[in-house]
């Protein structure tokens, strides 16, 4: 018995020593993988960002990792990311179609939406429609601005009730961001206690951690475990429930819809669907349901987590908060409310908001790309179908791109004359054809919410809260660790 076990151990050891994962000639370098798991044990599955930075020092800005048996290429630094996502965008704009996120989101809808869709004519058709429709519904115009200001009024009422008290703003900002995108999608504003609102805010929070966290990596690495009753099954259950609720919302909207007179995004999409014949169009009700989820998820989680980061820093840098308030008071003197156009007269506030986005690093690894054909990057050969991980985090803190890359320093976005400037390395929304569809809405929300709240309130770090922890919780979107804040009315 002992001899058999010893022989088995020797065989396994030899297998490990002799194991070589197949890789293309001139493929980017990688740490040595082990069978089945690849390089998984060399990464902190709670948050791999520090490990990716460490590997960059060893292997350079373009290197590979084996997540299970599959090679993936990690791209770091502005030069490499720009070459891939902008200069060679057609080569690097595909999407992998067999990761956990694809399986979870399409568990019922059978359509990829626009964020996860592969780079093809159907994706271009859907994205073009999305951009046009969002513009028509007033992004950067008065109509959307008024919707955001209306939601801010609700936030302020809640904050006024908590003046002098210590509160946790986590749900407040998520509910507000969710409600703003719901007005675009459904022309409907929900109570924060509404079951629809509670479900989707909870869905986004839980699944963003599952999909890109420990269990998501295990699912993507070891196909044999995919049917086991492990924690990632919760994501599949939640997305099934989400699809059913989207179908209910779609049915409800159809009852009151007047074709040709759209009230919101769903109506616009259904009008487009009415025009479709048997010409192979990509428009369908399944695609609409997936599109709604894309916009709702992206429009809620990223904005809310950036706002949470904003007030975490503003409370702990009171001199920066005060300087913002002085500029806001000066520009808005005599005005009832802020306008998005006011940003042009607020260079310091703009610098602070952009610096918050840089520090928030909300989507550190973007959404994974894939190569659409055999191509090259920074001298390496990368075959078609290779999964690409754009490490946006590496650019947002890259040495040489920022005056102070590792500190909260609004002057990163100011020139010597105090004017607002946006460095090329600022890409929290990614870059190239796959750049975030909702960037315009997010920018407007962040400015109007931050300015309006700072004009009305002073935000204070509670005396008994201890030292702030700025380390974010990793996931598809990163979020600050839970914290509380104290609110005072400004005189």
Q: 18 falls in which pLDDT band (50, 70, 90)?
A: very low
Helix or strand run (H / E) with residue 460: strand 457-460
Q: 19 falls in which pLDDT band (50, 70, 90)?
A: very low
Q: How many CA atoms lie within 13 A of 201 on its CB side?
A: 25
Q: Tell me what pLDDT residue 25 has.
A: 83
**DSSP state string for 242-261:** HHHHHHHHHHHHHHH--TT-
Q: What is the 3-state secondary structure of 157-179?
A: HHHHHCCCCEECCHHHHHHHHHH
Q: Report the first-to-last Cα separation within the chain, whole angstroms.
A: 82
pLDDT digits (tens, 9 = 90+) for 372-418: 999 999 999 999 999 999 999 999 999 999 999 999 999 999 999 99
Q: Which residues of 155-194 are buried (b: 16+ CB within 10 A; e: fewer)?
A: beeebeeeeeeebebbbbbbbbbbbbbbbbbbbeebebee
User: Rounded to an integer, what distance in angstroms lies between the CA atom of residue 486 and that of residue 471?
Assistant: 21
The label of the residue with tokens 């991980």 reads 389
Task: Please choose, from the candidates 201, 223, 205, 12, the residue with its C-alpha nearest in 3D space to the C-alpha of residue 98.
Answer: 223
φ/ψ of residue 469, rounded to 5? -110, 110
Comparing 1 with 349, which gets the higher pLDDT?
349
* Mean pLDDT, range 310-321, rounded to an integer: 98
Q: Helix or strand or coil: residue 338?
A: coil
Comparing 330 with 278, which gets the higher pLDDT?
330
Q: Tell me what pLDDT residue 106 has.
A: 77
Q: 61 falls in which pLDDT band (50, 70, 90)?
A: very high
* Mean pLDDT, range 203-230, rounded to an integer: 87
Percent over 90 (pLDDT), the chain = 64
Residue 141 above 80 pLDDT? no
Q: Which pair of structure tokens corresponds to residue 199?
A: 């479900």
Strand-pairing partners, residue 67, are: 38, 70
Residue 6 above 50 pLDDT? no
Q: Helix or strand or coil: residue 225?
A: helix
Helix axes 318-331, 439-456, angle to 10 degrees: 90
Task: Please state the pTM of the whole predicted model.
Answer: 0.92
Q: 140 falls in which pLDDT band (50, 70, 90)?
A: very low
Whether the CB-CB separation of 72 and 389 falls below 8 Å is answered with yes
Q: Tell me what pLDDT residue 9 has.
A: 41
Q: Which pair of structure tokens corresponds to residue 100?
A: 């956990």
Q: Helix or strand or coil: residue 459?
A: strand
Residue 55 above 60 pLDDT? yes
User: Rounded to an integer, what distance in angstroms lies between the CA atom of residue 82 and that of residue 13?
Assistant: 42
Percent over 70 (pLDDT), the chain = 92
Strands 485-489 and 457-460: antiparallel
**Would the CA dihedral through 39, 44, 49, 55 be positive or negative?**
negative
Whether the CB-CB separation of 107 and 243 falls below 8 Å is answered with yes
Q: 129 falls in which pLDDT band (50, 70, 90)?
A: very high
Where do the domains of the chain lie, and which CATH numbers do they carry? Answer: 93-361+397-489 (1.10.630.10)
Angle at 57 between CA 53 and CA 59, to 5 degrees: 105
User: Rounded to an integer, what distance in angstroms lies between the CA atom of residue 386 and that of residue 407?
Assistant: 35
Q: How far is CA 309 from the centre of its chain?
A: 14
* Mean pLDDT, range 303-321, rounded to an integer: 97
Task: Please choose, from the candidates 248, 346, 314, 356, the residue with its C-alpha nearest in 3D space to the C-alpha of residue 487.
Answer: 314
Residue 11 above 50 pLDDT? no
Q: How many CA atoms lie within 13 A of 81 on its CB side?
A: 29
Least confident piece of the model among 48-52, 167-171, 208-212, 363-367: 208-212
CB atoms within 10 A of CB 58: 9
Residue 10 above 80 pLDDT? no
Q: 137 falls in which pLDDT band (50, 70, 90)?
A: low
Whether the CB-CB separation of 23 and 71 falls below 8 Å is answered with yes
Quote the mean pLDDT of the chain: 89
Angle at 427 between CA 421 and CA 431, to 5 degrees: 120
Comparing 491 with 204, which gets the higher pLDDT?
204
Q: Tell me what pLDDT residue 443 has.
A: 94
Comparing 448 with 477, which gets the higher pLDDT?
448
Contacts of 353 (CB under 8 A, 6+ apart): 310, 446, 447, 450
User: Rounded to an integer, what distance in angstroms lies between the CA atom of residue 455 and that of residue 410?
Assistant: 19
Q: 7 falls in which pLDDT band (50, 70, 90)?
A: very low
Helix or strand run (H / E) with residue 386: none
Residue 257 above 50 pLDDT? yes
**DSSP state string for 298-347:** HHHHHHHHHHHHHHHHHHH-HHHHHHHHHHHHHHTTT-SS--GGGGGG-H
The label of the residue with tokens 């998005």 reads 340
Strand-pairing partners, residue 375, are: 382
* Rg, Å, the chain Cα set: 24
User: Rounded to an integer, what distance in angstroms lies between the CA atom of residue 302 and that of residue 37?
Assistant: 31
Strand-pairing partners, residue 38, are: 34, 67
């Amino acid at each position: 018995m002992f001899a058999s076990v010893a022989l088995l151990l020797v065989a396994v050891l030899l297998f490990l020593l002799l194991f070589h994962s197949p890789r293309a000639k001139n493929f980017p370098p990688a740490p040595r993988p082990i069978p089945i798991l690849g390089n998984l044990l060399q990464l902190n599955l709670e948050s791999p960002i520090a490990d990716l930075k460490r590997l960059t020092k060893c292997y350079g800005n373009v290197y590979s990792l084996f997540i299970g048996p599959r090679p993936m290429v990690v791209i770091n630094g502005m030069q490499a990311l720009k070459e891939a996502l902008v200069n060679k965008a057609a080569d690097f704009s595909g999407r992998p179609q067999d990761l956990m996120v694809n399986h979870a989101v399409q568990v019922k809808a059978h359509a990829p939406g626009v964020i996860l869709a592969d780079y093809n004519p159907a994706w271009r058709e859907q994205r073009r429609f999305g951009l046009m429709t969002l513009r028509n519904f007033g992004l950067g115009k008065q109509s959307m601005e008024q919707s955001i200001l209306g939601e801010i009024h609700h936030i302020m009422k809640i904050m006024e009730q908590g003046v002098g008290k210590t509160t946790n703003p986590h749900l407040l900002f998520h509910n507000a961001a969710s409600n703003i995108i719901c007005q675009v999608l459904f022309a409907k504003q929900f109570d924060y206690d509404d079951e629809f609102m509670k479900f989707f805010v909870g869905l986004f929070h839980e699944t963003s951690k599952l999909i890109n966290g420990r269990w998501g990596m295990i699912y993507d690495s070891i196909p044999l475990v995919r049917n086991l009753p492990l924690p990632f099954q919760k994501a599949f259950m939640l997305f099934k429930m989400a699809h059913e609720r989207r179908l209910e919302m779609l049915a409800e909207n159809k009852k009151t819809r007047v074709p040709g007179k759209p009230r919101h995004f769903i109506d616009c999409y259904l009008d487009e669907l009415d025009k479709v014949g048997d010409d192979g169009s990509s428009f369908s009700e399944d695609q609409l349901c997936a599109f709604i989820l894309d916009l709702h998820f992206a429009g809620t989680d990223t904005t809310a987590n950036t706002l949470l980061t904003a007030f975490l820093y503003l409370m702990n840098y009171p001199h920066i908060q005060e300087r913002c308030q002085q500029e806001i008071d000066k520009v808005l003197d005599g005005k009832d409310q802020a306008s998005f156009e006011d940003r042009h007269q607020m260079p310091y506030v703009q610098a602070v908001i952009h610096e918050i986005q840089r520090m928030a690093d909300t989507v550190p690894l973007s959404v994974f790309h894939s190569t659409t054909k055999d191509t090259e990057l920074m001298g390496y050969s990368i075959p078609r179908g290779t999964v690409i991980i754009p490490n946006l985090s590496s650019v947002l803190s890259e040495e040489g791109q920022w005056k102070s890359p590792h500190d909260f320093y609004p002057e990163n976005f100011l020139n010597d004359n105090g004017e607002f400037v946006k460095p090329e390395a600022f890409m929290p929304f990614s870059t190239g054809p796959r750049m975030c569809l909702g960037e315009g809405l997010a920018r407007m929300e962040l400015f109007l919410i931050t300015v309006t709240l700072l004009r009305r309130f002073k935000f204070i770090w509670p005396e008994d809260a201890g030292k702030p922890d700025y380390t974010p919780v990793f996931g598809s979107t990163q979020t600050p660790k839970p914290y509380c804040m104290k609110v005072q009315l400004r005189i």
